[in-house]
Amino acid sequence: MPPGRPAPGVVRTPPMRARALGWTGQSIPIVGQGTWNMEQDDRKRAVAALQRGLDLGLSHIDTAELYGSGRVEELVAEAIGGSARRRDEIFLASKVVPSNASRDGTRQACERSLRRLRTDHLDLYMLHWPGSHPLAETIAALEALRAAGKVRFWGVSNFDVRELEAALRIAGETAIACNQVLYHLEQRSIEHRVLPFCSQHRIAVVGYSPFGSGDFPAPSSAGGRALAQVAARHGVSPRAVALSFLTRHDALFTIPKASSAGHVAENARGDVDLSAEDVDTIDGAFPRGKSGELPTL
Ligand code: NAP
């Protein structure tokens, strides 16, 4: 076999750009794959789309016990089981719903997710949003899961700065791997406070709903035209430009959801190195807006 040539049957991962997930140092692709509402899609098509994403290097899969009441985790297991990727080449993330996030409830929820995902560990486990169980209990449970090897890293989701400060007071530095928050071109609130705070504490920011949950700027709109202009400079699509913009800082990752293999292939090109001029063009078309509370869906 000539050097550099993949062996038959071996999938060569294209160089999707990767970076360290905050203080963890774990390198993961800047563009991953979301799975919310996938239980509503054609199952075979959705499984094939996730597998295509894995082949293209989108090895960070984001799911949650909430999605389809566990059915999406089962679908993800099917995709991973039938993929050419080994489990240790995939960065698998799931979340506990706040109503389950008591000390013992978190442990039990994690066990259920592991069973549905047919794996013995999660790479990342998050509290889906702040809830009513004392945060100290949830964090104690997450730390216990980490110590037991069921979870490699843990994080939070939909936390504003005040909630992150509270979590840091309990857990200390280098404990919270990420904060998963709403972030797309028309919703850039995190750039005011959450992103700088997370960067300062080396907490990765995983942006969700990068395409506005299916509400992407129309090509005929001013924003759509600005994206097309930048896209033409790089020979990629407007959506690839959007993903590149949303991951332009070291702390940022994104997790578009796609149940179509074609969409996944397009998203896999979302790691373009944008110039200062490109960023200015997009900034002009999609202003950051006023600082405010952390938005959620
Ligand atoms: P999204 O990724 O912003 O948008 C998904 C929609 O965009 C789907 O309709 C998808 O269509 C379409 N799409 C994807 N790629 C496309 C392409 N290249 N061309 C045309 N259309 C394309 O929406 P999201 O699901 O809200 O967010 C992404 C993920 O973030 C979720 O799936 C979930 O994992 C996570 N999330 C987390 C939270 C939280 O509270 N932590 C909240 C919301 C979302 P097809 O499916 O037909 O391909």
Q: Say how many Å lie between the CA of residue 215 and the centre of ligand 1.
A: 10
For atom 27 of ligand 1, the residue with the nearest CA is: 209
Ligand 1, pocket-test mutation among 56, 58, 183, 211, most atoms within 8 A of CB: 211
List phi, psi (to 5°) of 173: -70, 165
Listed in sequence order, the residues at least 6 apart from 244 whose beta carbon sits closer than 8 Å to its beta carbon are 236, 270, 271, 272, 273, 274
Listed in sequence order, the residues at least 6 apart from 74 whose beta carbon sits closer than 8 Å to its beta carbon are 116, 117
Q: Is there a catalytic annotation at residue 67?
A: yes
Q: Say how many Å lie between the CA of residue 83 and the centre of ligand 1.
A: 21
Burial class from Cβ neighbours inside 10 Å (0-12, 13-18, 19+) for residue 218 reads: exposed
Which residues form ligand 1's pocket by a CB distance below 6 Å?
A: 34-36, 62, 128, 157-158, 180, 208-214, 239, 255-260, 263, 266-267, 297
For atom 14 of ligand 1, the residue with the nearest CA is: 258
List phi, psi (to 5°) of 92: -105, 120
The reported pLDDT for the residue numbered 15 is 76
Ligand 1 nearest-atom number relative to CA 257: 2
What pLDDT, in 10s, does the model give residues 217-259? 999 999 999 999 999 999 999 999 999 999 999 999 999 999 9
Taking 60 as the threshold, does the pLDDT of residue 3 lie above it?
no
Q: What is the mean pLDDT of residues 151-172?
A: 98
The reported pLDDT for the residue numbered 293 is 66
Model confidence band, residue 133 (pLDDT cutoffs 50, 70, 90): very high
Q: Say how many Å lie between the CA of residue 151 and the centre of ligand 1.
A: 25
Q: What's the mean per-residue pLDDT of the chain?
A: 94
Given 67, 125, 183, 208, which residue is catalytic? 67
Ligand 1, pocket-test mutation among 208, 253, 255, 269, most atoms within 8 A of CB: 208
Q: Say how many Å lie between the CA of residue 12 and the centre of ligand 1.
A: 26
* Helices 222-234 and 238-245: angle between axes, nearest 10 degrees: 90
For atom 22 of ligand 1, the residue with the nearest CA is: 263
For atom 16 of ligand 1, the residue with the nearest CA is: 263
For atom 20 of ligand 1, the residue with the nearest CA is: 263
Taking 50 as the threshold, does the pLDDT of residue 96 lie above it?
yes
> Taking CA 74 as the corner, what is the angle to CA 72 and CA 78, rounded to the nearest 5 degrees?
115
For atom 23 of ligand 1, the residue with the nearest CA is: 213
Q: Say how many Å lie between the CA of residue 24 and the centre of ligand 1.
A: 26
Q: Say how many Å lie between the CA of residue 67 and the centre of ligand 1.
A: 13
Ligand 1 nearest-atom number relative to CA 262: 18
Taking 60 as the threshold, does the pLDDT of residue 12 lie above it?
no
3-state helix, strand, coil in the chain (%, to 5): 45, 15, 40
The reported pLDDT for the residue numbered 123 is 98
What pLDDT, in 10s, does the model give residues 271-287? 999 999 999 999 999 99
Placement of tokens 């990068």 in the chain = 210
